[in-house]
Amino acid sequence: DLPIQSIKELSELHPKPADLHFQYGTAGFRTLGSTLDSVVFRVGLLAGLRSKKLDGKTIGVMVTASHNPEEDNGVKLVDPRGEMLEASWETHATVIANAPTTDALIDALEAVVRNAKIDLSKPAKVVYARDTRRSGPALISALENGFKALGAEGRNAGVTTTPILHYLVKAINTKDTSESYGEDSEEGYFKKLSQSFKKLTAGKVKPEPLIIDCANGVGALAAAKFATHLGETLPLTLANTAISTPGALNNVCGADFVKTMQRLPSGLVDHLKPGQRACSLDGDADRLMYYYLDERGSFHMLDGDKIATLVAAFIVDLVKNAGLDSEIKVGVVQTAYANGASTKYLAERLPVKCVSTGVKHLHHAAEHYDIGVYFEANGHGTVLFSQPTQERFANYEPSTPAQSTALNHLINLTQLINQTVGDALSDMLLVEVVLAHKSYTGVEWNSLYADLPNRLVKVVVSNRAAFKTEDAERRLVSPQGLQAKIDELVRKYEGGRSFVRPSGTEDVVRVYAEAALKAQSDELAFRVAGLVY
Ligand code: 16G
Ligand code: ZN
């Protein structure tokens, strides 16, 4: 049975605010940090139940609100293989978070135990971490009370990035197995990635220093550790590392700022030399944006689509050079936000699939390829190597030295890339590997294709639930008749493309438009927004 007495006692310390409704969305629970106490306590309970359900495997809990403003916070669960929580449990999470009283909470927990057929005699293990937000420590205490109430065993991974927490979950659950993901410590993560980076860049020209905008968040800590591990192999200059300055997190800096504003983050303005590579992390270091200034000081952004094309083309070449192209298929997954020019470039070279926004959709679609590359335009993404593919690499016998070299690079890539989730720092090392192999600067990378001009606007509507989409969010099925009007408008613009979807994280509807000319893409976006409003 559930330890009802201890749940009751501790739940009384974390009452649910009566007037608030919480929703486990694409990024877990995310809202003002000061309102999350009861939610995080209950997530502690739920994480314990999830672990019991999965036979005592270790579940991850991350307390972060990523690129959101500093006052926000959030919490999400990580499944044993380091992946996002299974969708059916998102519903359990929402129900449990909204139970109005302690008694209602107990009823809701008992319902989950019954519905999910949980054997309560199993052990419960959880590993957890938080970002640098000031609301973090109190929320971690609430989380620990949740573990205590259920008798779950918790391992505190401290202040670290979201992707490191995902790494730890997978490393813990694969420890001492043939699929071991690495040492189950932060140190193990840094060693694994740095060593494979060094192997992949051995003999290459030493790169110019790379500037990292750490968004004044937890990425600053991880980037500093990489700087130590990598030393001369990759000189790193860290900017925006003020993790304890109130109000600094994600403020006029970070990957989301750069992507939305399409300009340099503060802290870099006077430091970036023409042509020098720089990149931005977001507040929990799972998104990455690259950019550079040209000789005239103009800003050029290399976003998730640019990263996907660079990386996918590199991997396709390696597979071919290894002599494995007849048996190992590489594919790419994007969302409707991918720039049309990137989709065109990719589709000429390999299979490309479009799915709905949100990491879980991309991740699952990428699992269907032998090697699946997925990136959202916003800079979140990774590469997945299927288990059979990794086994094939291990037992394949190359017939030439060139094949052998390509095979070794592929094997080292499987170690360099954090395959559990998008990881800004792992992705950054991946980009640096490709640039080193190709002898590319940002300019050459950027010239692989030219982005189509585009515009994203948000529209506040009275009821965003009225907007329903199909075809990977590229078309509206309701409100009735609206899609036909959008189609009619789009036809008037050369190279025009536009779609409307309800946001999963904000109470708005987003409108995206693309066209051959900048003024046209702006005009199309605003005219479509006019239809929505
Ligand atoms: C969340 C998603 C991200 C997506 C974004 C879209 C995860 C972990 N994160 O941040 O992938 O791009 O939402 O936001 O899935 P929107 O629905 O407000 O446009
Ligand atoms: Zn993030």
Angle subtended at Cα 360 by Cα 126 and Cα 514, rounded to the nearest 5 degrees: 145
Q: Residue 237's pLDDT band (boundaries 50, 70, 90)?
A: very high
Beta-ladder partners of 501: 510
**Predicted model pTM:** 0.97
Q: How far, CA to CA in Å, does 401 sit from each of 9, 128, 317, 321, 398?
A: 67, 45, 16, 10, 8
Find the 287 Cα to ligand 2 centroid distance in Å.
6
Does the ipTM surpass 0.95?
A: yes
Whether 80 has a binding-site annotation, put simply, is: no
Instruction: Give the residue numbers marked as catalytic.
Output: 66
| Cα(256) to centroid(ligand 2), Å | 9
In angstroms, the CA 308 to CA 306 distance is 5
pLDDT of residue 529: 97
Q: Taking residues 463-485, what's their average pLDDT?
A: 96
Ligand 1 touching residue 403 (CB < 6 A) = no
Share above pLDDT 90 across residues of the chain, in percent, rounded to a whole number: 97
Which of 267-276, 303-312, 361-370, 466-475 comes out lowest in average pLDDT?
Answer: 267-276
Tokens of 283: 């507040």
Residue 148 has pLDDT above 90, yes or no: yes
Instruction: State pLDDT tens for residues 53-75.
Output: 999 999 999 999 999 999 999 99
Could you tell me which residue, 4 or 533, shows the higher pLDDT? Answer: 4
Q: Considering only CA atoms, which of 103, 108, 147, 93 is closest in space to residue 15?
A: 103
DSSP state, residue 328: -
Distances (CA, A) of 443 to 211, 352, 438, 440: 16, 25, 12, 7
Give the pLDDT of residue 167.
Answer: 98
Looking at the CA of 66, which ligand is closest? 2
The verdict on the CB of residue 420 being under 6 Å from ligand 1 is no
30, 67, 303, 357: residue to mutate for ligand 1 pocket, most atoms within 8 A of CB: 357
Which region among 367-371, 470-474, 505-509 has the lowest average model confidence (pLDDT)? Answer: 505-509
Alpha-carbon span 197 to 33, nearest angstrom: 37
Over range 326-341, report the average pLDDT: 98
Please report which ligand is nearest the Cα atom of 380: 1
Distance CA 146, CA 138 (A): 13
pLDDT of residue 271: 86
- How many helices (H) does the chain have, and how many strands (E)? 18, 19
Mean pLDDT, all residues of the chain: 97
pLDDT band at 158 (very low <50, low <70, confident <90, very high): very high
Q: Which atom of ligand 1 is nearest to the CA of 502?
A: 17
Whether residue 269 is predicted with pLDDT greater than 90 in this model: the reply is no
Nearest CA to ligand 1 atom 12: 358
Residue range 93-118: mean pLDDT, rounded: 98
3-state secondary structure 74-118: EEEEECCCCCECCHHHHHHHHHHHHCCCHHHHHHHHHHHHHHCCC
Q: Binding site annotation covers 381?
A: no
Distance from Cα 358 to the centre of ligand 1, integer Å: 5
Question: Using an 8 Å Cβ cutoff, are 335 and 376 in contact?
Answer: yes
pLDDT at residue number 329 = 97
Give the dihedral sign, CA 159/160/166/170: negative
Rounded mean pLDDT, 374-394: 98
pLDDT value at residue 116? 97
510 lines ligand 1 (CB under 6 A): yes
Q: Tell me, what's the pLDDT at 19? A: 96
503 Cβ closer than 6 Å to some ligand 1 atom:
yes
Residue 509 confidence (pLDDT): 97
Say if residue 370's pLDDT is above 90: yes
Q: Is the pLDDT of residue 506 over 90?
A: no
Separation of alpha carbons 411 and 198, rounded Å: 13
Residue 508, classed as helix, strand or coil, is coil
CA distance 456 to 467: 17
Residue 270 is predicted with a pLDDT of 84
Question: How far, in Å, CA of 405 to CA of 238, rounded?
Answer: 33
- How much is the average pLDDT of 278-289? 98
Residue 27: predicted pLDDT: 87
Ligand of minimum distance to the alpha carbon of 359:
1
CA separation (Å) from 524 to 163, 197, 503?
37, 44, 19
Least-confidence region, from 171-175, 282-286, 448-452, 506-510: 506-510
- As a whole number, mean pLDDT of residues 464-476 equals 96
| Residue 513, pLDDT above cutoff 90 | yes
Ligand 1 center–CA 255 separation, angstroms: 13
Closest CA to 81 of 7, 155, 161, 179: 179
376 C-beta closer than 6 A to ligand 1: yes
HEC per residue, 360-404: HHHHHHHCCCCEEEEECCCCCEEEEECHHHHHHHHHCCCCCHHHH
207 is in an annotated binding site: no
Q: What is the C-alpha radius of gyration for the chain, rounded to an integer number of angstroms?
A: 23
Which residue's alpha carbon is nearest to atom 10 within ligand 1? 27
pLDDT band for position 533 (50/70/90)? confident
CA of 186 to the centre of ligand 2 (A): 19
Q: Is 58 left (phi over 0), alpha (psi -120 to 50) or beta?
A: beta
Using pLDDT thresholds of 50, 70 and 90, give the confidence band for residue 453: very high
Confidence of residue 259 (pLDDT cuts 50, 70, 90): very high
- SS3 label, residue 120: coil
Mutate to test the pocket of ligand 1, among 505, 508, 509, 510 (most ligand atoms within 8 A of CB): 505
Decide if pLDDT at 504 tops 90: no
* Structural tokens at position 34: 């000061």
Whole-angstrom Cα distance, residue 499 to residue 531? Answer: 12
Tell whether ligand 1 has an atom less than 6 A from the beta carbon of residue 259.
no
Task: Please answer whether residues 367 and 484 qualify as being in contact, where contact means their C-beta atoms are separated by less than 8 angstroms.
Answer: no
Q: Which of 359, 378, 382 to mutate to test the pocket of ligand 1 (most atoms within 8 A of CB)?
A: 359
pLDDT band at 185; cut points 50, 70, 90? very high
Task: Give mean pLDDT, residues 67-87.
Answer: 96
